[in-house]
C-alpha cells in the first residue's frame, strides 16, 4: 500500500472508534435497552444497519468466488443463507416477530411455550445453538479477514520483513491484524450496545456504498464489449437453473455436477429458513428493536435497497478478474487480488477501508446479538442476577468477550471460508429450520418438541462432519428429516403447551397455519381480531411478489455492470411492477402504527 492508502485506512479507524465512544453516552441502564436501543431507533436506520450487517467482507469474498466459478447461476446458491428474507419480513414475518415483544429470539420461546419447564427447555436450547452459531459466524468472518490480509499484505511486504514480524508477534501478521480489528469491534460493541452498532453502521454504510459504486464504475468502464466477448463466457449471465453443469462451469466446480439437486436443496432450505423466522441472528434483533409492528414491516421492505450496491460490487470484481485474467488458484482470493493489482492509490485505501468496514459491521451485529442470547437467555435466567445497572452491563461485557474469544479461536484454526459457511448453512442451520417453522404454524409443537428437534439437529450436524465427502443436499435432507421426526414425536409424547399460553400467543401474534383449535378458544377470534389482517391468500401473494422484487433488485445492478442490457431492462421492469402491485396489495394492509411494549404481552 502507498502512504495515501495507509492514511485512508487510519482515518477510517479514528472516525469509527470515535463514533463508538461518542455513543457510549447513550448506554442504557437495562440490558433490554442496551440490546434493543430502547426501541427508539427509527426503522430506516434499523433497515440500514441490518443490511450493512449482511454486507460482510468474508461473505463478499465467497460470493465473488462462486460468481467467478458459476456465473449468474450462483444466484441459486444464495438461497441457502436466506437471501429472500426481506420478502418474508414485509409480507408477514416482521410483524409477527415484533408483536411478540420479546428481547431476544430465545426469550420469544417463553411467549410461545410458556414459562414452565418445557418453555425454559426451548429457550435454553435455542440460546445455546444461537451462541454456537454466533461463534461460528465470528470464526467465518475472521477466516475471511485472515485470508484477505494474508494475500493483500503479504504481497506488499518483503518476505524477510514478513518473517521478522511473524517472529515478533508469534503468529502470522495477517492473524494479528485480523484479531486487532476484532478487538476494536468488540470494544465499541461493549461500550454502547445497539446504539453504537447502528451509529457505526451509518458511517460504514457510507464508506461501503461508495466503495461498491467505485468498483462497479471502474469495472463497467474497463470491461468493454470487446473484452467481454473475448474473455467472458457467452452464457455467463444465464439465470435459468441447469440440471447438470457442463462446459466451463463443470471444469471449475466438478463437485457441483448434479447442479439441479443442489438448487432444490438450496432453495428448499432457504425457503424453510425464512418461513421459520429471520435467517440471521441479528435480523431477529432488528425486528424486535422496531418501534411497532408497522415499522418492522417497513424496515423489512427497505432492507434490500441498502444491500443492492453489494451485488454491483461483486459482479464488478468478477468481471475485472475475468477480463484481466487474474492469476489465482484460489477463487476466494480474487477480491484481494483485484484490489491490490488494479485499483489506483488512494482509491485502493478508501476501498480497503470500506471492506474493513464490512468486516466490522458484520462482527458488531453478530457479537451484539450473540452476547444478548448469552446474557439474557442463559446467564440471567439461570443465575437470577439483580437488575441494577452495574452488574447488568458487566454481564453484557463478559458475554461479548466470551463470544469474541470462542469465535477467534475457531477462526484462527479454520482453513477455508467455503467449508465453514457450507457447514454452518447446510448442516448446522438445517437442524433448526423444521423446529423454527413448526413453532409458528403448528399449535401442537411444545417446548419439549422444539428442544428435542434443535438438539437433535445440532448433534446430527456435528456427526455429519465425520461423513466422507457428504453433499450439501444429502446433509440438508438427512438432518432436516431427523429434526422433524424428533420434534413431532417429542411433542406428541408430552403434554401440550397450556391453552392459556397458546391463546395468548395466538391473540398477540395472530399467526396463520394449523391453529384452528386455538382459534376456537380465542374470544377475540370471534370478535374480529383478524379482520384487519390480510387473508392468507393475499399474504402469500405479497410474499411471491416480494421475492420477485428482491430478486430483480439484486440482479439489476449485476446485469448493468456486465452490460447485459436486455436482462437489466427485464429486471427493472419487474421491479417497477412489483412496487406498483405492493402499493395496493401490501401498503394499505400494514398494521396500525401503535408501539408495543414487552409488558403488554407477558404470558
- Classified as helix, coil or strand, 514 is strand
Please give the Cα distance from 519 to 502 (Å, whole number): 10
pLDDT of residue 94: 93
pLDDT of residue 598: 45
State which of 122-131, 147-156, 278-287 shows the largest mean pLDDT.
122-131
Q: Does 341 lie in the same domain as 206? A: yes
Q: CB under 8 Å to 68, separation ≥6 — which residues? A: 252, 318, 321, 322, 331, 334
Please give the Cα distance from 104 to 101 (Å, whole number): 9
Q: Does 546 lie in the same domain as 419? A: no
Is pLDDT above 50 for 87? yes
Q: Does 540 lie in the same domain as 400? A: no
Q: Does 424 lie in the same domain as 326? A: yes
Q: How confident is the model at residue 366 (pLDDT cuts 50, 70, 90)?
A: confident
Q: Which of 444, 474, 497 is the last residue of a domain?
A: 497
Q: Does 271 lie in the same domain as 386? A: yes
Cα distances (angstroms) measured from residue 351 to each of 307, 338, 487, 521: 17, 11, 47, 58
Q: What is the pLDDT of residues 461-483, one digit of tens each?
A: 878 767 666 566 677 788 889 99
Q: CB under 8 Å to 320, separation ≥6 — which residues? A: 215, 218, 219, 222, 223, 326, 338, 342
Is pLDDT above 50 for 309? yes
Judge whether 85 lies within some domain: no
CATH of the domain at 231: 1.20.1730.10
More confident residue, 221 or 29: 221
Kindly state the percentage of the chain with pLDDT values over 90. Answer: 40
Q: Does 205 lie in the same domain as 352? A: yes
Q: What is the pLDDT of residues 509-534, one digit of tens each?
A: 999 999 999 988 886 555 445 445 78
Q: Does 474 lie in the same domain as 548? A: no
Please give the Cα distance from 484 to 435 (Å, whole number): 7
Q: Does 580 lie in the same domain as 466? A: no
Is pLDDT above 70 for 442? yes
Q: How confident is the model at residue 327 (pLDDT cuts 50, 70, 90)?
A: low
Q: How confident is the model at residue 34 (pLDDT cuts 50, 70, 90)?
A: low
User: What is the extent of the structural domain holding 545?
Assistant: 535-585
More confident residue, 361 or 581: 581
Judge whether 115 lies within some domain: yes
Q: Does 368 lie in the same domain as 439? A: yes
Residue 106 CB-half CA count within 13 A: 28
Kindly state the percentage of the chain with pLDDT values over 70. Answer: 81
- 140 exposed, middle or buried (CB, 10 Å; 0-12, 13-18, 19+)? buried
Judge whether 24 lies within some domain: no
Residue 84's nearest CA partner among 279, 345, 328, 233 is 279
Dihedral Cα 72, 414, 328, 79, nearest 10 deg: 0
Mean pLDDT of 388-402: 66
Q: Which of 468, 497, 526 is the last residue of a domain?
A: 497
Judge whether 119 lies within some domain: yes
Q: Does 432 lie in the same domain as 580? A: no
Q: How confident is the model at residue 180 (pLDDT cuts 50, 70, 90)?
A: confident
Q: Does 489 lie in the same domain as 343? A: yes
User: Apex CA 90: angle with CA 488 and CA 366, to 5°?
Assistant: 70
Q: Does 569 lie in the same domain as 487? A: no
Is pLDDT above 60 for 599? no
Give how many domains the chain has, as a whole number: 2
Judge whether 38 lies within some domain: no
pLDDT of residue 566: 95
Is pLDDT above 70 for 144? yes
pLDDT of residue 601: 43
Mean pLDDT of 110-120: 91
Residue 144's nearest CA partner among 325, 348, 464, 366 is 366
Judge whether 132 lies within some domain: yes
Q: Which of 480, 497, 514 is the last residue of a domain?
A: 497
Judge whether 353 lies within some domain: yes
pLDDT of residue 584: 95
Judge whether 313 lies within some domain: yes
User: Apex CA 251: angle with CA 248 and CA 257, to 5°?
Assistant: 100
pLDDT of residue 565: 94
Q: How confident is the model at residue 390 (pLDDT cuts 50, 70, 90)?
A: very low
Mean pLDDT of 383-388: 56
Amino acid at each position: 500500500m502507498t502512504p495515501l492508502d495507509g492514511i485512508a485506512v487510519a482515518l477510517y479507524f479514528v472516525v469509527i472508534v470515535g463514533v463508538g465512544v461518542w455513543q457510549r453516552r447513550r448506554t442504557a441502564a437495562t440490558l433490554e435497552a442496551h440490546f434493543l436501543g430502547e426501541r427508539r431507533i427509527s426503522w430506516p436506520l434499523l433497515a440500514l444497519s441490518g443490511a450493512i450487517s449482511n454486507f460482510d467482507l468474508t461473505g463478499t469474498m465467497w460470493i465473488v468466488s462462486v460468481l467467478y466459478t458459476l456465473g449468474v447461476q450462483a444466484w441459486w446458491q444464495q438461497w441457502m443463507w436466506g437471501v429472500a428474507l426481506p420478502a418474508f419480513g414485509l409480507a408477514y414475518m416482521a410483524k409477527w416477530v415484533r408483536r411478540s415483544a420479546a428481547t431476544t429470539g430465545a426469550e420469544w420461546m417463553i411467549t410461545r411455550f410458556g414459562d414452565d419447564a418445557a418453555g425454559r427447555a426451548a429457550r435454553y436450547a435455542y440460546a445455546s445453538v444461537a451462541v454456537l452459531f454466533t461463534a461460528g459466524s465470528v470464526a467465518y468472518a475472521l477466516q475471511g479477514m485472515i485470508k484477505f490480509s494474508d494475500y493483500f499484505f503479504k504481497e506488499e511486504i518483503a518476505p524477510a520483513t514478513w518473517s521478522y514480524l511473524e517472529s515478533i508477534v508469534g503468529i502470522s501478521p495477517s492473524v494479528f491484524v485480523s484479531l486487532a480489528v476484532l478487538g476494536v469491534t468488540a470494544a465499541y460493541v461493549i461500550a454502547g450496545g445497539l446504539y453504537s452498532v447502528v451509529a457505526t453502521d451509518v458511517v460504514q454504510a457510507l464508506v461501503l456504498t461508495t466503495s461498491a459504486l467505485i468498483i462497479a464504475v471502474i469495472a463497467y468502464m474497463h470491461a468493454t464489449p470487446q473484452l467481454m466477448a473475448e474473455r467472458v463466457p457467452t452464457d455467463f449471465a444465464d439465470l435459468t437453473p441447469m440440471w447438470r453443469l457442463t462446459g466451463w462451469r463443470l471444469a471449475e466446480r466438478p463437485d457441483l455436477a448434479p447442479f439441479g439437486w443442489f438448487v432444490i436443496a438450496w432453495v428448499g432450505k432457504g425457503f424453510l429458513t425464512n418461513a421459520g423466522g429471520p435467517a440471521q441472528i441479528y435480523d431477529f434483533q432488528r425486528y424486535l428493536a422496531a418501534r411497532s409492528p408497522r415499522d418492522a414491516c417497513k424496515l423489512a421492505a427497505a432492507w434490500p435497497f441498502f444491500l443492492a450496491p453489494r451485488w454491483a460490487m461483486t459482479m464488478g470484481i468478477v468481471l475485472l478478474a475475468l477480463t484481466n485474467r487474474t492469476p489465482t488458484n484460489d477463487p476466494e482470493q480474487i477480491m484481494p487480488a483485484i484490489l491490490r493489482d488494479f485499483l489506483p492509490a488512494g482509491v485502493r485505501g478508501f476501498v480497503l477501508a470500506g471492506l474493513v468496514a464490512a468486516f466490522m459491521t458484520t462482527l458488531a451485529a453478530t457479537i451484539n446479538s450473540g452476547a444478548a442470547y448469552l446474557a439474557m437467555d442463559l446467564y440471567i435466567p439461570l443465575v437470577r442476577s439483580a437488575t441494577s445497572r452495574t452488574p447488568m452491563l458487566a454481564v453484557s461485557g463478559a458475554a461479548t468477550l466470551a463470544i469474541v474469544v470462542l469465535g477467534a479461536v475457531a477462526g484462527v484454526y479454520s482453513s477455508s471460508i467455503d467449508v465453514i459457511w457450507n457447514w454452518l448453512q447446510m448442516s448446522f442451520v438445517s437442524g433448526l429450520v423444521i423446529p423454527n417453522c413448526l413453532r409458528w404454524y403448528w399449535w401442537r409443537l411444545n417446548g419439549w418438541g422444539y428442544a428435542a428437534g434443535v438438539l437433535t439437529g445440532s448433534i446430527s450436524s456435528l456427526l455429519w462432519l465425520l461423513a466422507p465427502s457428504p453433499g450439501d443436499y444429502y446433509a440438508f435432507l438427512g438432518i432436516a428429516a431427523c429434526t422433524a421426526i424428533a420434534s413431532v414425536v417429542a411433542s406428541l409424547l408430552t403434554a401440550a403447551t397450556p391453552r392459556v399460553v397458546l391463546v395468548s400467543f395466538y391473540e398477540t401474534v395472530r399467526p396463520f397455519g394449523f391453529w384452528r383449535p386455538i382459534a376456537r378458544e380465542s374470544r377475540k377470534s370471534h370478535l374480529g381480531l383478524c379482520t384487519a389482517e390480510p387473508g392468507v391468500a393475499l399474504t402469500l401473494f405479497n410474499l411471491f411478489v416480494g421475492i420477485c422484487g428482491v430478486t430483480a433488485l439484486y440482479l439489476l445492478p449485476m446485469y448493468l455492470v456486465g452490460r447485459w442490457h436486455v436482462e437489466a431492462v427485464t429486471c427493472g421492469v419487474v421491479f417497477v411492477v412489483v412496487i406498483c402491485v405492493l402499493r395496493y396489495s401490501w401498503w394499505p394492509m400494514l398494521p396500525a402504527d401503535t408501539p408495543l411494549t414487552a409488558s403488554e404481552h407477558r404470558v
